[in-house]
Copies of this chain bind each other. A is one copy, B any other.
Amino acid sequence: MQKYVTRKVREMVVEDAVEGFYLLKSPTPRTTQNGKNYLTFRLADTSGEIEGIYWDYEGDLHETCVGKPVKVRGTISEYNGKKQFNVIQIRAAKEDDPLDMNALIPTAPIDPKETYSQLVSLLDTIQDPEYKKLCVEMLARNQEFICCIPAAKSVHHSFRYGLLMHTYFMMCHADYMSRFYPFVNRDLLLAGTFCHDLAKSKEYELSSFGLVTDYTVSGHLLGHLYMGALEVAKVSSELGISEEKSMLLQHMLLSHHGKPEYGAAVAPQTAEAVLLSMLDDLDAKMELIRETLEGQQPGMTDSVWALGNRLYQHD
C-alpha cells in the first residue's frame, strides 16, 4: 500500500503521493465531451499554488469550500509541462482537524500580540499631550485593522499583520533616528509614523482570511494618503488639537510617498515629513528584499519589478 507524505506545495515533485490540508481556490465543476464530470481547482499554502483535478465529482464543495481549507489525498503528475495534483479523496476540513492556518495563509514573521504591545508602549513615550491624545484616539478607532491587515496588495508586506509589522518597524526607526537628529521633533515624528498608513483599512477589500483582494472605489478615487489626512483633520478637530499640530500631521500623511510621481499629494516640507518618507521607502525596500531572497539559492535572482533590477544572493 502506498505511503502518503505531507508536502509544502513548492516542494511537491512528480510521482509524490501526498496527503494534507490546503486552501481550495477557484473550484469549477466541468464535463468532458464524453459527459464525464470532474472538478478543477487550485490548492494553495504559503509556499505556492498547484493545479488540481478530481474525477467523477458530484458534490457541492465548489459552493461551500471556496477559499477554505480542505483535506486532500492524491498523486502529483505532469500535464502540459506543469505539475498537477490528481486528487482521489477530497473533503472540507473539520473543526477538530490538526490544521495550522499559518501554514496556509501568508502571515508576517512576527508575534502579533507582542508586537502590538510594544507599539503601544512606544506610543506611550510621546510627551506632547496633544499628539499623544490624537494617537490614542486613532488607535482606538483603527484597532481592529492595525492588529491584522496587510500593508499592501502585493509587492511587500502583503500578508496578515503586514500593517502592524511595517508600522512598528518604522516607529522603532523613528525612535532611533530622533536621537541622531535632535532637530527632529520626536513626538511629531512618532505620531505621524503611527498614523501614516492607517487609512489603508479604507483602501483595501479584504478576503475572509484578511488578505487584500482589491482596492475599494474610494481607494482608487481618494487614496489612503488623503483619507488618512482627512481622518486626522476630523479627529484633531473633535479633540481640540491645535491647528498647527493638526496641519503638521496632515502634511506628513499627504506627503509620505516622497514625490508626486510616487503618489505624494504634496512634497514633504518639514524635517519630520522628509524623514518619514525615507523611512517608509527604506522599510518597504528591505522587506521586499527579504521576501525576494528568502529561500533563494546563491546567485542572481530574476528581475524584481519594484526594484527595477535583479538581486544577488551571496553566501
Contacts and interface: CB of A to CB of B under 8 A. Distances in A.
Interface of A: 169, 172-173, 176-177, 180-181, 183-185, 215, 217-218, 220-223, 225-226, 229-230, 233-234, 244, 247-248, 250-251, 254, 260-261, 263, 265-271, 274-275, 278, 281-282, 285-286, 289-290, 293-294, 299-300, 307-312, 314-315
Given A282-B278, A300-B217, A311-B271, A265 B176 contact: no
16 contacts: A183-B289, A217-B312, A221-B248, A221-B250, A222-B247, A222-B251, A222-B266, A226-B226, A226-B229, A265-B266, A267-B309, A269-B310, A274-B289, A275-B282, A278-B285, A282-B282
A219 to B, nearest CB: 10
Contact of A220 (B185, B220, B269): B269
Contacts of A266: 220-223, 226, 265
Nearest to A77: B33
Nearest to A30: B78
A247 B173 CA distance: 30
A303 B156 CA distance: 22
A225 B225 CA distance: 13
A269 B309 contact: yes
A282 B173 CA distance: 12
The 5 closest A-B CB pairs, nearest first, are A265-B265, A221-B251, A260-B260, A267-B309, A271-B289
A312 B216 CA distance: 11
Contacts of A275: 282, 286
Contacts of A314: 185, 244, 248, 270
Contact of A244 (B177, B268, B315): B315
B217 A247 contact: yes
A311 B218 CA distance: 12
A261 to B, nearest CB: 6
Contact of A217 (B176, B261, B294, B299): B299
